Amino acid sequence: MHTKGKRIKVFSGNANHDLAKAICGELGIPLGDSVVKTFSDGEISVNINETVRGVDVFVVQSFSIPHVNDYLMELLITIDALKRASAGRITAVVPYYGYARQDRKAKARDPISAKLVANLITAAGADRVLTMDLHASQIQGYFDIPLDHLIGVPILAEYFKSLNIEDLVVVSPDLGSVTRTRDFSYKLGAPIAIVDKRRPMANVSEIMNIIGDINGKNVILIDDMIDTAGTIVNAAKALRELGAKDVYACCTHGVFSGPALTRIKESIIKELVVLDTIDLSDEMRSLDNITTLSVAPIFAESIRRIFNNDSVSKLFD
């Protein structure tokens, strides 16, 4: 794709190569020729095998399992390599921004790792960041470079609209997800309910109460991410016990670490819909109740708009 005398190239780390290729397919360009590998001592090596001088470059890389820190380093080293090769502008395309849950000091002597990662990306030489559904929206302000923040709700809402589910209630799995849930419910024309939960420790949740009427209703649980799946599975169980009929769930980021596979497989969730910001394992893909939707079209359109200096926010008008 050539516009206004400029050139565009898209490169990828090892975190989500299939998504990068899908984005390139939407743009009608080949994926950039690069090799990212690990030496026997664990150090990461990056080779850019084509010229990028003066080119508008986009690097697609999520920080996700199974190698969160390696994927972060791959991005930083790739950006450095491109900067030293005289790339015109470098945009870090981070579909899933890891460390986003460490966005504040919850207790004394806590790090704010989300800010540290932002500093690292900037220091490496990125000129811009493109990401989706940050766990904490204030992370946008952690960057001293432009950041475009995409939203996954429209993709999820469009899918569930196509199912024509009757007697529907959209449920927030916790108080922190109410704004996202309200936006999602508005697009579906459905009422909302809220799960009141507490966390006695990290990655452990206990359901205390359900706020709203879900008796005899089909429900959709929506969250920005699912990690160990404890919250979503416990919420689904509680909703069923309180009279809900079919329980669906959806999220933007399917982290799916630890016991997530077993929990989801054994849960009463009829269908779990997840976007492909993170490359799912073959085991997760094989589950009968998992549906994956692609974010490649919206990322490709955003890249096209950034390249042409057009508005990205118009995508959500």
Identify the three-state secondary structure at position 79: helix
107 is catalytic: no
42 labelled binding-site residue = yes
43 labelled binding-site residue = yes
Which residues are paired to 46 by β-bridges? 36
292 labelled binding-site residue = no
Q: How many CB atoms lie within 10 A of CB 241?
A: 11
Q: Which of 6, 83, 107, 197 is catalytic?
A: 197
Neighbour order of strands in the sheet with 147-150: 2-3, 6-12, 56-60, 89-94, 128-132, 147-150
User: H or E element: which one contains 180?
Assistant: helix 178-188
State both tokens at 275.
Answer: 């976007």
291 labelled binding-site residue = no
Q: Do residues 53 and 89 touch, judged by C-beta distance below 8 A?
A: no
Listed in order, strand segments (DSSP E) in the chain are: 2-3, 6-12, 34-38, 44-48, 56-60, 89-94, 128-132, 147-150, 168-172, 192-201, 204-211, 218-226, 247-254, 271-275, 290-293
Residue 161 Cα distances to 53, 153, 158, 185, angstroms: 45, 12, 5, 11
Instruction: Convert 126-160 into a string of H (helix), E (strand) and C (coil).
Output: CCEEEEECCCCHHHHHHCCCCEEEECCHHHHHHHH
Q: d(Cα 115, Cα 275) in Å, to the nearest integer?
A: 25
199 labelled binding-site residue = yes
228 labelled binding-site residue = yes
102 labelled binding-site residue = yes
231 labelled binding-site residue = yes
70 labelled binding-site residue = no
266 labelled binding-site residue = no
Q: Which residues are catalytic?
A: 197
Q: List, as residue ranges, the binding site for ATP.
A: 41-43, 101-102
Q: List, as residue ranges, the binding site for Mg(2+).
A: 135, 174
Q: List, as residue ranges, the binding site for D-ribose 5-phosphate.
A: 199, 223, 227-231
Q: List, as residue ranges, the binding site.
A: 41-43, 101-102, 135, 174, 199, 223, 227-231
